[in-house]
Structure 1
Amino acid sequence: MPDTGFNDDATDRRLRLLIGLVVVLGLGASAAWAQQAYLHPGAVPPPGLLVLLGGTVIAAYRLRVTVRVRSGREGLAWDEIPALVGLMLIPAPWMVLCATISVLALKIWDRQGIRKTVFAAAKQALTVSAAGAVFAAFGVRPDLDQPHVPVLAVITGLVVFTLVDQLVFLPVLATDNRTSILSVARRSWIGKVIGFLGELGACLLALWVLTSHANVLLLLVVPLVVACMQLWQSRSSRTREEREAWQRLAKATDELNAVDLTQVLHSAATRAAQIFRAAEAAIDLTATGPGRTVRATEEQVLADGPLSVAPVQAGDTSVDLIAHDGGVRVGVLRLRFGGAVRLTEVEEYKLRTFASAVCTAIRNAQAYAELARIAAENAYAAAHDPLTGLANRRQFYEHAELLCHDAAPDGLVALMIIDLNHFKEVNDTLGHAAGDDVLREVARRLSEAAAPGDLVARLGGDEFAVLLTGLPTPALANHRAGTMLAALEPGIEVEGMLITVEAAGGIALAAGTGSVEELMRRADIAMYQAKRAGEPTMAYTHARDTADVERLMLTGDLRRAVDRQEFTVDFQPIVDLGSGEVISAEALARWHHPGQGNLDPVQFLETVERSGQLPAFADAVLDQSLVAMRTWREAGFDLPVAVNVSPRSLLDPDFPAAVLSRLERHEVPADRLVLELAETLTISQLDVVARVLAELRDAGVRLAVDDFGTGVSSLSVLSRIPVHQLKIDQEFVATVETSAEAAAVIRTTVDLARNLHLTVVAEGVESEPQRRALWELGCLAGQGHLFARPLSAARFLGTLQRGSAGRPGALAAALHDAGSVVRMPVRRSSGAGRSSLPHLPA
């Protein structure tokens, strides 16, 4: 009986009970035959014959076909033949005694242990006793001189002997291997049937020799027949075992083609135990993470947890799992047989092959898991704000679209936009790190105060949005909004200071808005009304909507305007103040509305920004600007064009790709395009804008800050965004002659630009005195009605070609004589016109 050393307490108890039962039955059978011999004494068999029969039993026990099983090797013995032959020649009690003592001596000699020795002896006593009982039932009287045994008795005795042997052995083997009796019985059943037939033939041959008075030397043929059968069965069993093992290996390799690491480890462990007939297989994963151990038998996974290397025991076999790509050691595959088992050369090759497949499968599963993790991180990053972890604008819009267009059976949906009051002071006073801490704390409090199902998002900067869902009545929106803003009232400790955060919220119901853009607009209006009124929250009402019916009509006309190309672009020249030559142009969008006439950006830009048509509008303006640039260049005027960019466009991560694709389509060099940024960008917006503009700037697109000096974050813009050009607001240009403060601002801006190697353009130049004053202050370029009003692309080209005073490309007389100013060389195309703004002197 196998002794694995692996059995748990419950299994070991069952084994002891089964073995005890067999021993008791064996002792009982032996005692019964002993009593029979005592009551009916007969002639004592010759000692030499007993020794011969005992030696034959030992030889038959030794001559066995072994097949690998979990806990060692299962033997197919031939001891039935000497037992049945002996029962034909000597009384059953003596044969039982002879066979039992022979097996007992053999097990003691092999040092098999008490449990195996006692079990084998008891099993032998039971099987021989059962065969002896069959012979007694058939009335067989053993006789050395004239034995007479019916053939049916021999066949029945052999069947009973085999059945008892299996009935005794199979439950013990199944319990020891923690498997079913049926599973053990089906193993090598073909070989068992063939072996039974061979034993039957050998027994019948011996019976014929003994009963037909043939030459007794013919009995020597029986061992030869047994030996031949044993060799044939041994080879066929090993061949079948090898074939099945390779089939199991191929099937296991196919199962390892999985992407889930747990599935790979569980399959590899169970298949390893099955392929190599091990009592248990374990995989210690050590390549990544804290480590992991998976233990399994052929039927089930026993454990899957943290790395736990069991102490090495006799019979353990292990092989390293080493990847072929770089020799990385992934882990160790361990097999435990429960005894001293030596693998054959073929088995070792199979083990290395299987280990290589397991290692490859583990590496593939780990790579897939890493890719899945990266994909999940990217998906999360695309939908969440990196600073606060809240949903970002994109995720918010997608979620809001679903709620606004799908009927919500569980209640109304409302939107609340929250803007922090005086948040800029935190950044300016304590720095951006402190401001980030405040935003994170605000995000945490809003998330905790939100009701289940609500979505809290950060739209950008210090602006948050909350989708309030499941509202039974509109009035409950105000209550929920007030509760969320009340969560912001407790002070926030930042760098040892207690900061009080105040916020204003605007609420708009989704019902009847028609689009997310309109819902956002209404909530935005309500939020600004709350700020002006000094209230924490305010709900949108149509009566207080500052956007009149005309603006609402414009919102509805936007899609049509984009489709019908009602947006056009005019161009205002930018002139070298010293020479009067045109050096670039600024693109100014116009809307040729069929009902309201020509509209300038002041009248419609805010409406466009609040709608979903901003990307289409921006694309239309950029396309027309690039077409004009290419037309002028073909006519001999290679002029850069400045295009205004909405802050909302800069918050779109797809904006750089759209710009660069249009430059490539129109074959315009990237450095010919100047993007004008609103100087009123908030500090909080700069975090996102800087990342978006970096891609454009790296591609060669030039950047300019429009209306420089009018906002409160001028230096912050310059420190965060590496621009190329500053544009002085016309407010300072208008009073440059009469206001010392305006002149000081312009002079300071020019000095700042010179130190930062930037160019400067003055906007709104209306008169010659203004032009001369700007020139004297060091400003080298300007634009305004003094030179030209905004013109269509065709009229702009005609103006360039006509020029001023016979000078194509010039729109004003020079302020200095030719040669009195030395200018840096600039690139020209084949015709007139300069390629860039004049360089500031060093």
Structure 2
Amino acid sequence: MVKAIFNISKNMLVAAAAGTTLALIHWEWSSTGLDQMIVPVALAYAVAALVDEIVAMPVIALATRRKILRQFTANWDLRLVGYAVRFVVALLTLILLRADVRLLVAVPPLALSLHLAYSTRVRSRAERQAWQRLAHTTDALNVVDINAVLHTAVAQAANLFSADEVEVELQADQRTVRGNNETITYDGFGTQPSFINGSVIPMEMKGYDGSAVGMLRLRFHGPVKLSEREQYTLRTFASALCTAVRNASAYAELNRVAEEHAHAAAHDALTGLANRRHLLDRGAEQLGQRRSEGVIALLLIDLNHFKEVNDTLGHAAGDRVLIQVAERLRTAVQGDDLVARLGGDEFAVLFHGLPAPAVAAHRAESLLTALHEPIELDGMRISVEASGGIAVAPSTGGMTELLRRADVAMYQAKRAGRRISTYAPARDTADLGRLALGGDLPRAVADHEFTVNFQPIVDLGSGEVVAAEALARWRHPARGTIDPLRFLETVERSGLLPAFAEAVLDQSLIAAQSWREAGFDLPVAVNVSPRSLLDARFPGAVLARLRAHDLPPDRLVLELTETLTLSQLEVVDQVLGQLRDAGIRLALDDFGTGYSSLSMLSRIPVHELKIDRAFVTAMETSAEATAVIRSTVDLGRSLNLVVVAEGVESEPQRMALWELGCSAGQGHLFARPMPAARLLAALHQGAGGRPGTLAPALHDEGAVVRLSPGRRSGPRRVERLPHLPA
């Protein structure tokens, strides 16, 4: 109705405009000839056409939500042709009317034919343009990002259907996207009411299989009814949107799976840290930018005795320890530093952008300190000790070389008894020989290539030999004598440790028995691996060897090292208790270097403390080293323990140790490690004609010796060592 009234009013206005134009130019139908009629009629028709455009186009633009300029330019060529045809018909009508009124009967068929042709052409073009717009709209949905699909669908649907608001609601995650052809007004989950109260045209987004992924809604301020063609277009658009949503969702799922696989390929499954591959890739990338990114360094961390924890408590408990270690490292790192797990109990930290190489050591110390706190595991506190090696990126070479250098530094730290060691080229002795040693171990054990040398332990006051420490040697048929620091580590990591330990113990007990038969009843000290303490059968095996060689248990001293992480395990307490109860003596080696602590003395029933050679070497120049030795001696005296100093190289060191109250020592001052037969010959020969001694006495037996001022006050009677039976 409104449309009809508008059209009638418009046509009346157009006719009035044409008539007014003819009146203004004083044109009269009866007074003009044919030749004088064309121009006035053309002018009047042009004014009428202009008025028609000015009146109709804004109204149509408003109804279709188009911009006025866009409406004016749309189909201008067809409208121009239409105006020209109607002008010809009008002019022809006037000519026929002037010639003969009866000829007007030909005008309606002609006008109808022209109208039908024009209408068909207009509809054809409108259909073609509608399908082109639909094709363009659906093409715009061919993206793989779900956000882009939904946002594009809202804007394109608003343009295509001239909707005031378009809403897309997904069933899967209840996501709703709402907006118009210019902006997105809402994008979220759940429902939120629309502010447009008018017509709502819903359409399910169905696929070819009939299943729907959501709902498409067109909202209009006023009442709107879509034509059949528009309804079909809406169904087609909704179907295309359904396909686009499914494709985008499938792509998102594939992308998620690919990202998971990529993450899994670059990260450790247990701890979530970067793995070796990711570490090498990131390191190679940073090394390529080293000139502008500062100093790059790598810290390699190895947990001490983690295998024993795994073997004793089970792999599940070991995994929990690794997870907590990883979390502590992840929390303690700074900035872009990368934490990685290389496998087993090895971790790595890639330091990036350091201002100076020295900063790497400081950060490494902080990280290892973060691991120091005990870990709570099923009501049991497990102490975590680790060794770390630091290597600064070389000027040439890639990540493989940097990783090798950090590995070398880490094992240097282990051998030196330090928590952290920095790579030094002068100490880099790593080569392929280490791998070859592992392959030679079975043959070496079977062919008895391992021998034992003995270093005597001497009473510092009298010079008398009071014991001997067994030191394993490997006489390789091709490589000659191999440094113990190299092969002991290989043995420790192999499955041949029990056989190796038994061979060393047998040779040590044979030597002690031979000395005893010769009149020198000396205890023999043998180093024991921490792994052996996890074997409940170990005490029985040791006692069986003692019985086989007819030696009293108190002639054997077992030296314990690196047991900090094991000292809280019940099996260790049981093994050490059985050994002590059987009469075997226990010594705590490397006391004060970090592998031993005061807390261990309250748990491990030892008889002796051995001061590390590093303190003895430094005592002449370091007040701190002297203080550590004095404290250890006083502690030993308070606990009724023998204190033995390692690495005594000179008489001044011997004298200083004796003045501090240290009762015994070993080192090159007295003798280097030697075979059992040579030591027996040295005992027979003695020092200064005194069998059983290797150094002159610092005093006459029973004499009163005054200590130097500032060391100890008061006289002291020197007696025979009370805790090392001769």
TM range (shorter): 0.5 to 0.7
5 Å-filtered alignment, 1:617-656, equals none
2:324 — aligned with what? 438
| Aligned-CA RMSD value | 5.5
1:393 — aligned with what? 276
2:162 — aligned with what? 278
What is the CA–CA distance in structure 1 between the aligned matches of 2:318 and 2:343, rounded to whole Å? 14
CA gap of 1:605–1:359, structure 2 versus 1, over 3 A, is farther
CA gap of 1:569–1:515, structure 2 versus 1, over 3 A, is farther
Q: Aligned-pair distance for 1:380?
A: 0.8
Matched, 1:321 2:200: no
What is the CA–CA distance in structure 2 between the aligned matches of 1:368 and 1:247, rounded to whole Å? 27
2:392 — aligned with what? 509
C-alpha distance after superposition, 1:347-398 (max 9, x if no partner): 5444434433332222122111110110011101111123443211221123
C-alpha distance after superposition, 1:802-837 (max 9, x if no partner): xxxxxxxxxxxxxxxxxxxxxxxxxxxxxxxxxxxx
What is the CA–CA distance in structure 2 between the aligned matches of 1:517 and 1:148, rounded to whole Å? 101
1:234 — aligned with what? 119
TM-score by length of 2: 0.53
1:552 — aligned with what? 431
C-alpha distance after superposition, 1:28-61 (max 9, x if no partner): xxxxxxxxxxxxxxxxxxxxxxxxxxxxxxxxxx
Q: 1:414 aligns with which of 285, 294, 297?
A: 297
5 Å-filtered alignment, 1:578-597, equals none
C-alpha distance after superposition, 1:439-473 (max 9, x if no partner): 353033134xx23x432222235532111222343
Q: Aligned-pair distance for 1:145?
A: 14
What is the CA–CA distance in structure 2 between the aligned matches of 1:594 and 1:321, rounded to whole Å? 82
Q: 1:140 aligns with which of 11, 19, 27?
A: 27
What is the CA–CA distance in structure 2 between the aligned matches of 1:431 and 1:282, rounded to whole Å? 57
C-alpha distance after superposition, 1:138-180 (max 9, x if no partner): 2125789999983212211221222233234434544665544
CA gap of 1:595–1:226, structure 2 versus 1, over 3 A, is farther
CA gap of 1:289–1:136, structure 2 versus 1, over 3 A, is same
2:130 — aligned with what? 245
2:41 — aligned with what? 154
CA gap of 1:441–1:222, structure 2 versus 1, over 3 A, is same
Q: 1:205 aligns with which of 92, 101, 123?
A: 92
Q: Aligned-pair distance for 1:732?
A: 6.2
Q: Which runs of no fewer than 5 residues in structure 1 stay unpaired?
A: 1-109, 562-566, 575-592, 610-645, 648-675, 680-708, 716-727, 741-842
1:131 — aligned with what? 18
SS at match of 1:139: coil
Q: 1:306 aligns with which of 158, 177, 188?
A: 188
CA gap of 1:444–1:315, structure 2 versus 1, over 3 A, is same
Contact 1:387–1:440 (8 Å) recurs in 2: no
Matched, 1:192 2:73: no
Contact 1:417–1:465 (8 Å) recurs in 2: yes
CA gap of 1:206–1:377, structure 2 versus 1, over 3 A, is same
What is the CA–CA distance in structure 2 between the aligned matches of 1:712 and 1:129, rounded to whole Å? 117
5 Å-filtered alignment, 1:226-625, equals 226-273=111-158, 277-279=161-163, 282=166, 284-297=168-181, 300=182, 302-303=184-185, 305-306=187-188, 310=194, 315-325=199-209, 327-336=210-219, 340-404=223-287, 408-419=291-302, 428=313, 431=317, 435=321, 438-447=324-333, 450-451=334-335, 453-485=336-368, 504-511=387-394, 514=397, 516-530=399-413, 537-543=420-426, 545=427, 549=429, 551-552=430-431, 554=433
SS at match of 1:552: coil
C-alpha distance after superposition, 1:564-600 (max 9, x if no partner): xxx999999x9xxxxxxxxxxxxxxxxxx9995999x
CA gap of 1:464–1:436, structure 2 versus 1, over 3 A, is closer
TM-score by length of 1: 0.47
5 Å-filtered alignment, 1:26-105, equals none
Counterpart amino acid of 2:252? A
CA gap of 1:152–1:490, structure 2 versus 1, over 3 A, is farther
What is the CA–CA distance in structure 1 between the aligned matches of 2:548 and 2:277, rounded to whole Å? 47
Contact 1:198–1:226 (8 Å) recurs in 2: no
Q: Aligned-pair distance for 1:318?
A: 2.7
C-alpha distance after superposition, 1:254-294 (max 9, x if no partner): 4444333334334444444555x433573524243341325
What is the CA–CA distance in structure 1 between the aligned matches of 2:379 and 2:442, rounded to whole Å? 54
What is the CA–CA distance in structure 2 between the aligned matches of 1:413 and 1:388, rounded to whole Å? 24
Contact 1:149–1:207 (8 Å) recurs in 2: no
What is the CA–CA distance in structure 2 between the aligned matches of 1:148 and 1:542, rounded to whole Å? 113
2:517 — aligned with what? none
Counterpart amino acid of 1:293? V
Contact 2:390–2:421 (8 Å) recurs in 1: yes
What is the CA–CA distance in structure 2 between the aligned matches of 1:133 and 1:411, rounded to whole Å? 88
What is the CA–CA distance in structure 1 between the aligned matches of 2:32 and 2:40, rounded to whole Å? 19
Q: How many residues are aligned here?
A: 482
What is the CA–CA distance in structure 2 between the aligned matches of 1:120 and 1:499, rounded to whole Å? 93
2:637 — aligned with what? none
5 Å-filtered alignment, 1:767-782, equals none
Contact 1:147–1:210 (8 Å) recurs in 2: no
Counterpart amino acid of 1:321? M
Counterpart amino acid of 1:520? L
CA gap of 1:123–1:246, structure 2 versus 1, over 3 A, is closer
1:813 — aligned with what? none
Q: Aligned-pair distance for 1:513?
A: 7.8
What is the CA–CA distance in structure 2 between the aligned matches of 1:462 and 1:293, rounded to whole Å? 50
Counterpart amino acid of 2:260? E
SS at match of 2:143: coil
Q: Which runs of no fewer than 5 residues in structure 2 stay unpaired?
A: 447-475, 499-529, 550-726
Q: Aligned-pair distance for 1:606?
A: 8.2
Taking only the aligned residue pairs, the percentage that are identical comes to: 39
5 Å-filtered alignment, 1:806-821, equals none
What is the CA–CA distance in structure 2 between the aligned matches of 1:178 and 1:606, rounded to whole Å? 84
Contact 2:199–2:222 (8 Å) recurs in 1: yes
CA gap of 1:341–1:176, structure 2 versus 1, over 3 A, is closer
Contact 1:315–1:336 (8 Å) recurs in 2: yes
Counterpart amino acid of 1:552? D
C-alpha distance after superposition, 1:234-256 (max 9, x if no partner): 33222222233334444444444
Contact 1:507–1:527 (8 Å) recurs in 2: yes
What is the CA–CA distance in structure 2 between the aligned matches of 1:491 and 1:462, rounded to whole Å? 16
